[in-house]
Amino acid sequence: MVYLNDDFEGGETEFENLFTVAPKKGSAMVFYHPLRHEGKILISGKKYVLRTDVIYYNK
Average pLDDT over every residue of 16-45: 95
Give the percent of the chain with pLDDT over 70: 100
Q: Please calculate the CA angle 21-22-25 and round it to the nearest 5 degrees.
A: 120
Average pLDDT of every residue of the chain: 94
Q: How confident is the model at residue 2 (pLDDT cuts 50, 70, 90)?
A: very high
Mean pLDDT for the stretch of residues 29-40: 92
Q: How confident is the model at residue 55 (pLDDT cuts 50, 70, 90)?
A: confident
